[in-house]
Amino acid sequence: MSAPIATEKGLPTNVDAERFVLGSILLDDSFFIQAAGTLDADDFSLEKHRRIFRRMGDLNERGEKIDRITIANELMKFGELEACDGLTYLVSLDDGLPQIPNLDSYIRIVKDKSVLRRIIFASQHMMNRCLQGEEAPEEILAGAEETLLKLGEARVKDGLLNPGQILQGYDGGINAFLDPSKRIKGISSGFTKFDEYTGGMHGGDLVIVAGRPSMGKTALALNIAQHVALKLKQTVAIFSLEMSKESLLTRMLCAAARVDSQKFRAGYLSQDERRKLNHALHELVEAPLYIDDTPGVHLMDMHAKLRRLQTDHRDKGGVKLVIVDYLQLMTGRGRFENRNQEVSALSRGMKLLAKELNVPMMVLSQLSRAVETRQGDHRPQLSDLRESGSIEQDADLVSFVFREEVYNKNREDLRGLAELIIAKQRNGPVGTVNLVFLHAQTKFENRAEDTGEFPEE
């Protein structure tokens, strides 16, 4: 059915809106800057409109006035005036234009139609590649993934704003901006000191949590997921490429019930432990927590699943946190010269996805063996991030999970001590958050001195 519809309807366009954008600029050339902040010449559907807008840009760059005569002269210099239907068409561009032009609306209509056309062209290109069958399906999927993510990022091109305009768009206005108690904060992790350092996790941020095997990366991420879903009642999506959904649920259940996970697996439970597990399970069932354990999930699959979840939970504010466990188990679509390039493409894709969906993405990452070969202090450094330097570049926050007891198993004084090292933070300080690790429940908790409460063993 799509072919007849396309033939009958033609490509999405609104010629009147395009005319009114150009006509408004011809009446008052100060409007060009406003239009150029959002639109490119290619956003216009008619070739003559594209040429007129480009020549307006040339005049603006030279600091010359934009009006019918100067535009006609500029088009004539390039031999384009006749192709634009001459001076008569330039004069007609403001026909029907209201006395007070609604330029923002005209610009938005032109941009929306342009995005729809680009989606159609991209889809047609993908169809042609599929029908020709000259490439592997993975390469075609990689092209589709990259194209659609770029379209999503380029959908809105914000211009430069002055402080007054920024405050005008701030939720709560200037009073909320000045009052720390009313300022919008990110999503709480449940770890007091970490939240003090970061102000919570913010939409669009790529948060990397890295560590060597057995340090507790997954446990920490699950603890944060439980806090957001159970305590804050916010929607969380977990993509697990390493553990099955049943294993993750077991971990979360034992952590929530404070029951020894080994005893749970063996089945040796007291009546009180069974009661705690039953209560915790009911809480988990009611929580807005979603797990996907598809092996080797691709960015495009993740994008589609998150879009659907966002739509399903729109009335609850959408998805508030995405966790990916872990980056090095993902594979990119297409051909890459080496693994570093592939991981770089994945980290960039994650950042684009976080920005487009406006959710914090917590991505777990492995560290290289350099940590263990280092003499003396085994604390990780940014250079230890495995397989790509672009992880550090793309991330808004990089933190390392570190437990000294892993390297000094005979020292009882180190048992249960853990550190969450904030090694990079784009919008805040770096530092170390001290935590407590409960082995039996594979759970991290705040230290007693940070909260005034003592964790239960």
Given a cut of 80, whether residue 316 has pLDDT beyond it is no
The residue count of the chain comes to: 457
pLDDT band (50, 70, 90) for residue 44: very high
Angle of helix 103-132 relative to helix 15-27, nearest 10 degrees, comes to 140
280 exposed, middle or buried (CB, 10 Å; 0-12, 13-18, 19+)? buried
Mean pLDDT score, 195-218: 86
Given a cut of 90, whether residue 51 has pLDDT beyond it is yes
Please answer whether residues 423 and 232 qualify as being in contact, where contact means their C-beta atoms are separated by less than 8 angstroms: no
pLDDT band (50, 70, 90) for residue 52: very high
pLDDT band (50, 70, 90) for residue 164: low
> What's the pLDDT score for residue 387?
59
Residue with structure tokens 């920490």? 220
**Range scoring the smallest mean pLDDT among 138-147, 334-343, 347-356, 398-407:** 334-343
- Which range of 79-83, 144-148, 381-385 scores highest in mean pLDDT? It is 79-83
Mean pLDDT score, 278-299: 83
Given a cut of 80, whether residue 26 has pLDDT beyond it is yes
What is the spatial distance between Cα 287 and Cα 48, in angstroms, rounded to a whole number? 55
Given a cut of 50, whether residue 96 has pLDDT beyond it is yes
**261 against 401, higher pLDDT:** 401
> What's the pLDDT score for residue 2?
43
> What's the pLDDT score for residue 73?
92
Contacts of 162 (CB under 8 A, 6+ apart): none
> What's the pLDDT score for residue 348?
80
pLDDT band (50, 70, 90) for residue 378: confident
Residue with structure tokens 């917590």? 362
- Tokens representing 297 are 């999930």
For the stretch 100-156, pLDDT in tens is 778 889 998 999 898 888 888 888 888 888 888 887 787 777 677 667 766 665 554
> What's the pLDDT score for residue 184?
53
> What's the pLDDT score for residue 455?
44
Say what percent of the chain tops pLDDT 70.
85
Given a cut of 80, whether residue 401 has pLDDT beyond it is yes
Mean pLDDT score, 39-47: 90
**Range scoring the smallest mean pLDDT among 233-242, 359-368, 442-451:** 442-451
Given a cut of 90, whether residue 53 has pLDDT beyond it is yes
> What's the pLDDT score for residue 162?
67
Nearest to residue 239, comparing CAs of 309, 302, 189?
302
The answer to whether the pTM exceeds 0.85 is: no
Mean pLDDT score, 428-435: 87
DSSP code string of 153-182 = HHT-------HHHHHHTSTTHHHHHH-TTT
Given a cut of 50, whether residue 95 has pLDDT beyond it is yes
For the stretch 414-428, pLDDT in tens is 888 888 989 888 888
Given a cut of 50, whether residue 224 has pLDDT beyond it is yes
**Range scoring the smallest mean pLDDT among 58-67, 95-104, 370-379:** 370-379
Helix (H, G, I), strand (E, B) or coil at 197: helix
Nearest to residue 253, comparing CAs of 234, 276, 221, 228?
276
Please answer whether residues 365 and 326 qualify as being in contact, where contact means their C-beta atoms are separated by less than 8 angstroms: yes
CA distances from 209 to 52, 144, 150, 392 (A): 50, 29, 26, 11
> What's the pLDDT score for residue 4?
46
Q: What is the maximum span of the chain, computed from C-alpha positions, in angstroms? A: 90
Given a cut of 60, whether residue 442 has pLDDT beyond it is yes
Position 265, amino acid = R
pLDDT band (50, 70, 90) for residue 173: low
> What's the pLDDT score for residue 161?
65
Instruction: Supply the mean pLDDT for the chain.
Output: 80
Domains of the chain, first to last:
2-134 (1.10.860.10), 185-451 (3.40.50.300)
